């Protein structure tokens, strides 16, 4: 555990919670201290760690003495780690301050959630911890960028009309819940979310999308001339290599001279059957010792360079429907039937124009967005908490 975490005994944790309760009761006896502590509890079991994320969400206090309010804010902004029964309890805290807003650790973990399982399947031990920490930092950066965009929107004069936002909300309800708002509310309740909170999140997502379209996407213009110029400079990327369609009969060599002699005799017998008109594919099914035997030795269209050098060289001398002489490599004996051939070509501009435009558009969008978000970040107050959670 890093120095950013302060280890307390379970007893001290309960003491801190008790002090908070008493102080809050003193300040506002008519208000509840915490709406629901259990409401935001989320249990997560990793292969190397078991964490209980407890998000303490309190009502806004009215007319609190400034000093006491500050004390309470500091007290519950801390991220405490308590070792209890072999597990770790992480109390939610501030991952970063962005202007006047806070990004919570639980918000970052929520963004991370879809990729955690993939990391757990791919890594383990210290490498997994490192990758998880990297993912945490990337997710935090994305939330910081999002908050900076939202703050920029609030500062500008132009605002989205309420009916535009409401239409967006209604479209989502119609598309995902067949227009049934009650069904949406029940679904949200299962995730312990209110309709108001969900609407706020959807609104923010819509605002970010509109801001990106206005400041990034609307400035992108990839002309046909630019696309053509890219095509001419990258012709090698659009070359289609030569391909052949072949059937193969393969016999495995052995170190035993007697067995190898029998294999060579078998190849000779197969050649005689082919000369008598028997089908290559039928003989491949009967005699080939390769995994393609069931398919009559057919391996589909393939680039000759993907084959053994000896086989590729032999194929060059064949015409369509020709059958090669026995080809010996270090470990196998081959018979090849050439069924088709495609010469090397270059894809036409019309065939790849759409793909090139997509590629260039993405590159330009990334560039313009990077410049735009960098300017916003430079003019924002950002303070990250020094945390190492994994």
Residuewise pLDDT in 10s, the chain (390 residues): 443 333 444 445 555 556 555 555 555 444 443 333 333 333 333 333 334 343 333 333 333 444 444 444 444 444 433 333 334 445 578 999 999 999 999 999 999 999 999 999 999 999 999 999 999 999 999 999 999 999 999 998 888 899 999 999 999 999 999 999 999 999 999 988 899 999 999 999 999 999 999 999 999 999 999 999 999 999 999 998 999 999 999 999 888 888 888 888 999 999 999 999 999 999 999 999 989 999 999 999 999 989 999 999 999 999 999 999 999 998 899 999 999 999 999 999 999 999 999 999 999 999 999 999 999 999 999 999 988 888
Task: Find the angle CA(45)-CA(57)-CA(107) to the nearest 5 degrees.
Answer: 50
In the prediction, which pLDDT does 226 show? 96
Closest CA to 273 of 260, 264, 282: 282
Q: How many helices (H) and strands (E) does the chain have?
A: 12, 14
Edge-to-edge strand list for the sheet holding 382-384: 101-104, 94-98, 382-384
Q: Return the structure tokens found at 347.
A: 């894809």
Residue 312 buriedness (CB in 10 A; 0-12 / 13-18 / 19+): middle
User: Under 8 Å CB-to-CB from 251, ≥6 apart: which residues?
Assistant: 263, 266, 267, 287, 288, 289, 332, 333
Three-state secondary-structure class, residue 112: helix
| Distance from C-alpha of 295 to C-alpha of 297, rounded to nearest angstrom | 5
Q: Return the structure tokens found at 41.
A: 């509890």
Contact 1, 7 (CB under 8 A): yes
Site of tokens 């080939």: 288
Q: How far is CA 161 from CA 157, 165, 223, in A?
A: 12, 7, 33
| Distance from C-alpha of 9 to C-alpha of 84, rounded to nearest angstrom | 8
| Distance from C-alpha of 382 to C-alpha of 99, rounded to nearest angstrom | 6
User: Under 8 Å CB-to-CB from 333, ≥6 apart: which residues?
Assistant: 250, 251, 253, 263, 264, 267, 326, 327
In the prediction, which pLDDT does 387 show? 81
The CATH fold of domain 95-220+364-390 = Triger factor/SurA peptide-binding fold (1.10.4030)
In the prediction, which pLDDT does 92 show? 75
Rounded to a whole number of angstroms, the CA Rg of the chain reads 34
What's the 3-state SS for 161-189?
Answer: CHHHHHHHHHHHHHHHHCCCHHHHHHHHH
Query: Running DSSP on this structure, what letter comes out for residue 323?
Result: B
User: Under 8 Å CB-to-CB from 311, ≥6 apart: which residues?
Assistant: 327, 329, 334, 336
Contact 119, 131 (CB under 8 A): yes
Residue 49 buriedness (CB in 10 A; 0-12 / 13-18 / 19+): middle
The CATH fold of domain 238-345 = Chitinase A; domain 3 (3.10.50)
Which DSSP string corresponds to 336-364?
A: EEEEEEE--EE--HHHHHHHHHHHHHHHH
**Count of residues for the chain?**
390
Q: Is the pTM of this model over 0.85?
A: no
In the prediction, which pLDDT does 213 show? 94
- Domain(s) labelled CATH 3.10.50.40 in the chain stretch across 238-345
- Domain(s) labelled CATH 1.10.4030.10 in the chain stretch across 95-220+364-390
In the prediction, which pLDDT does 382 show? 95
Contact 249, 287 (CB under 8 A): yes
């Amino acid at each position: 555990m890093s120095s950013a975490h302060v280890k307390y005994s379970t007893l001290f944790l309960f003491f801190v919670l008790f002090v908070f309760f008493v102080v809050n009761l003193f300040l506002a006896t008519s208000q509840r201290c915490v709406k629901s502590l259990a409401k935001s509890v989320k249990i997560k079991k990793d292969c190397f760690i078991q964490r209980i994320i407890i998000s303490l969400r309190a009502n806004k206090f009215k007319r609190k003495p400034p000093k006491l309010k500050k004390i309470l804010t500091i007290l519950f902004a801390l991220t405490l780690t308590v070792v209890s029964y072999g597990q770790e309890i992480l109390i939610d805290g501030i991952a970063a301050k962005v202007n006047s807003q806070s990004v919570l650790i639980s918000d970052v973990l929520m963004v991370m959630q879809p990729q955690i399982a993939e990391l757990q399947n791919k890594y383990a031990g210290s490498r997994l911890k490192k990758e998880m920490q990297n993912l945490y930092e990337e997710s935090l950066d994305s939330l910081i960028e999002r908050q900076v965009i939202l703050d920029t929107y609030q500062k500008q004069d132009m605002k989205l009309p309420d009916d535009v936002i409401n239409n967006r909300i209604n479209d989502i309800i119609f598309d995902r819940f067949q227009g049934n708002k009650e069904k949406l509310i029940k679904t949200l309740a299962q995730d312990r979310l209110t309709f108001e909170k969900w609407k706020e999140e959807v609104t923010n997502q819509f605002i970010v999308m509109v801001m990106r379209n206005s400041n990034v996407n609307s400035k992108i213009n990839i002309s046909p001339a630019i696309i053509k110029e890219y095509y001419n400079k990258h012709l090698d990327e659009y070359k289609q290599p030569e391909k052949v369609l072949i059937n193969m009969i393969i016999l495995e060599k052995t170190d035993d001279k007697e067995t190898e002699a029998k294999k060579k005799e078998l190849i000779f017998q197969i050649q005689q059957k082919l000369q008598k008109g028997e089908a290559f594919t039928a003989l491949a099914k009967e005699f080939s010792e390769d995994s393609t035997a069931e398919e009559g030795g057919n391996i589909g269209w393939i680039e000759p360079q993907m084959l053994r050098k000896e086989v590729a060289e032999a194929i060059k001398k064949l015409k369509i429907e020709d059958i090669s002489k026995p080809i010996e490599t270090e470990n196998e004996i081959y018979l090849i039937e050439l069924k088709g051939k495609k010469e090397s070509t270059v894809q036409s501009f019309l065939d790849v124009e759409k793909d090139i435009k997509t590629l260039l558009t993405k590159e330009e969008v990334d560039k313009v967005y990077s410049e735009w978000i960098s300017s916003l970040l430079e003019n924002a107050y950002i303070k990250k908490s020094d945390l190492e959670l994994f």
